[in-house]
Every structure is written in C-alpha cells, then in structure tokens.
Amino acid sequence: MEHPGRKAFVSAIVFLGALVILVPFYMILVNSFKGIRESALFGMGLPSTWNFDNYKEVFDKGNIMRGFKNSFLISGLVVVCVTLFASMAAFVIQRRDDRFMRSTYLLFIMGLIVPVSIVPTIRLMGELHIRGTYFSLIMYYTAVLLPFAVFLLVGFMKQIPRELDEAALLEGCGYFRLYWRIILPLLVTVLITVTIVVMVSVWNDFFGPFYLMTDSTKWTIVLQIFNFVSLYNTNWGIVFAFMVIVISPDPARVLAAAALHYRRFDGGLGQGLTNTGGKNDGWTSARRIDERGWRHAQGSRGRRREMDTARTHSAYPMGTLRSYAGGRSGGRPGRLRACA
C-alpha cells in the first residue's frame, strides 16, 4: 500500500515542475499587453496600462492569416505522408522478419541519431529544382520525422497477433487489403500519438522554413516574426503578442485530441479499438485463447479447427473483422467481411 505522504510529496514535485514550465508562458502573456518601453524590460509584473493594440497591429500588419494557411497546409500534408508511409514501412518490417528488413529497421533507427545536414539538403534541392516550394519542405519534414514514427509503430505492431493476418490470407485477402482494412485500423491509437508529435514539431519549427523557403509568401506562421523584428528598433510588446497567437493552437490541438480519444489512450489496444470492456473485450478473449486454449488444441485436428474458429470470432468485436452467417452446418465460420 502506498504511503499517503509519499503520494503528496510526488504531487507537490510535479506541481512545482509544472509551475517552472509555465513561467516563460506567463512572461510572454503578460508582456504582450505592455507598451514598447515597459515590454523591453522583460518584467514579470502586470502591465501598468493594458495595451490591446498590440494584437490589433499583429493582425493588421503581420500577414498572420497567410502564415496560418501555410502552416496548416504544410503540417497537414506532412502528417498524412508520415503516418501513411511509416505505417506501411512498419507493417512490412515487423511482419517480414528477415535480414534485409532488420537492416532496414536499423537504418531507420540511425535516422533518429544522425543530425540533419542542412547544407547538403539545400544543395540537393537546388539540383532537383524544388527549393523554395511546398513540396521540398514537405519532403524534408517527412524524411526527418519518418524514423521516429517507424520506431514507434514497429514496437506497437508487435502486439497485434499474426493469426489475424493468417485468417485474412486464408479468406483470400491480399496484402494491401490486409494492411488497409485490418492492420491500419488497429494502429489508430499510436497514429494519434504520431499525429500530435508530428503536427507540433512541424508547426513550431523555425530553421526548416528559414533555410529552405526562399519565397516570403510561403513562409509559415513562425517566420512571420520577421515582420516585427528589426536591427535597431523592436517593439517587444507586439512580438510577444505575436508569440501568444502562434503558440495558442498547440495546447488546443493536444487537448482536443485527448478529449476525443481519451478512451484509446487509457483503455489499451483492445478497449481503445472497441470502446468495450469486460466480457465483450475481443482482445482479452483472443489473448486468453492464446495463453490457455491453444496448448490443449495441439493433440487433435478437430480441436485445433474449433480453436481457430473461436480465435477468429473472438477478434470480431474489435470492430475490424466482421462475420456474417455462412449458412453452412458444422459450425464453420463465415468469411471475413474485410476480405470479402
């Protein structure tokens, strides 16, 4: 039994850590309402006069709507590319356990360690005549964030039993349909995490658009800060107001994703995919069959067929595999609708 004093101590440490993290956000928010002289002091106190004109000037002169449009376009396309390509790569790497796939997986792991070389990247994009385009920036972010997504998805995909693949292939399901109709819906839980990480990373990145985007009309929202910063005179109140607007979508996106999918995060793989629990949890039933029943089915061919039938039907409540009545006697299962 956990001691109540220890729990209170840990809670206090976590609360103090949260306060330390929130201090810079508090300073930015408070100084965004100060005038040019008072904001230049970077103080933590409340403004003597609340100046709301800083936000008005940001929207009037900052091209902020164009920056939001570019950021949403680039972030959204990068999320689509990373989630799609990473899930495909993870599916092949995890299911084909040979030397070539293990070497490929190690190359992806190296992508997490080796830093990005911006000068060769700029030269390559110049030779391909794509520098300064949306396509170049999208491919750059996809290449940088793909190793992390593959690493996360490969580890998660190990929890999905291969019996689902075998049952689908026996029913005539092709490999692409197996991936698209069966495996991909089971990855929704981890794909939500990948989406949040990729979206926040692309949205807040400064150096990628700064080096690779030569056209100012295609700048992301972060680069629009140059509209308010000069060499000799900078109104830090306007700069802080701009920073508040830029970082405001980050917590909103995270909270929205957590509110919509909190059951997927908290309930585990099976409960997150079915939104059910207890006796109707197909994943628990399948795991119970794997651990207890399959051992007794090795001695008899008929018993093995019954266990295959139970294993297949136990997967149906997960929302991915559905059956319909086969209309045959002998207790044979119907075809998998995902492969029909």
Tell me, what's the pLDDT at 252?
62
Query: Which tokens sit at 97?
Result: 């356990």
Other residues' Cβ atoms within 10 Å of the Cβ of residue 192: 18
Mean pLDDT of 220-240: 81
Tell me, what's the pLDDT at 150?
94
Helix or strand or coil: residue 48? coil
With CA atoms as reference, report the closest residue to 142 among 99, 94, 205.
Answer: 205
Mean pLDDT of 258-268: 53
Q: Can you list the domains of the chain with their CATH numbers? A: 4-52 (no CATH), 62-227 (1.10.3720.10), 273-339 (no CATH)
- Alpha-carbon span 155 to 157, nearest angstrom: 6
Helix or strand or coil: residue 76? helix
Question: Which residue is associated with the tokens 């045959």?
Answer: 328
With CA atoms as reference, report the closest residue to 186 among 156, 223, 208, 144.
Answer: 156
Tell me, what's the pLDDT at 315?
43
- Alpha-carbon span 252 to 258, nearest angstrom: 10
- Alpha-carbon span 213 to 310, nearest angstrom: 56
**DSSP state, 227?**
G
List, as one string, the DSSP characters of 78-93.
Answer: HHHHHHHHHHHHHHHH
Tell me, what's the pLDDT at 86?
94
- Alpha-carbon span 150 to 82, nearest angstrom: 9
- Alpha-carbon span 222 to 206, nearest angstrom: 6
Mean pLDDT of 162-188: 87
Tell me, what's the pLDDT at 254?
60
Mean pLDDT of 98-116: 90
Percent of the residues in the chain that have a pLDDT greater than 90, as a whole number: 21
Q: What are all long-range contacts of 212-215, with beta carbons under 8 Å and residues at least 24 apart? A: 212/121, 212/122, 212/125, 212/131, 212/132, 212/136, 212/137, 212/140, 213/132, 213/137, 214/131, 214/132, 215/132
Residue 77: is its pLDDT beyond 90?
yes
308 within 8 A of 286, measured Cβ to Cβ: no
Per residue in 24-54, pLDDT (tens digit) is: 888 989 999 988 888 888 888 888 888 888 8
Q: How confident is the model at residue 231 (pLDDT cuts 50, 70, 90)?
A: low
Residue 266: is its pLDDT beyond 80?
no
Residue 318: is its pLDDT beyond 60?
no
153 within 8 A of 221, measured Cβ to Cβ: no
Residue 227: is its pLDDT beyond 60?
yes
Q: Using the CB atoms, write b or e for 78-109: b if 16+ within 10 Å.
A: bbebbbeebbbbbbebbbeeeeebeebbeebe
- The average confidence (pLDDT) of the chain is 76
Tell me, what's the pLDDT at 267?
46
Q: How confident is the model at residue 299 (pLDDT cuts 50, 70, 90)?
A: very low
Tell me, what's the pLDDT at 261?
56
- Alpha-carbon span 297 to 96, nearest angstrom: 27
Question: Longest C-alpha distance within the chain, in Å?
Answer: 86
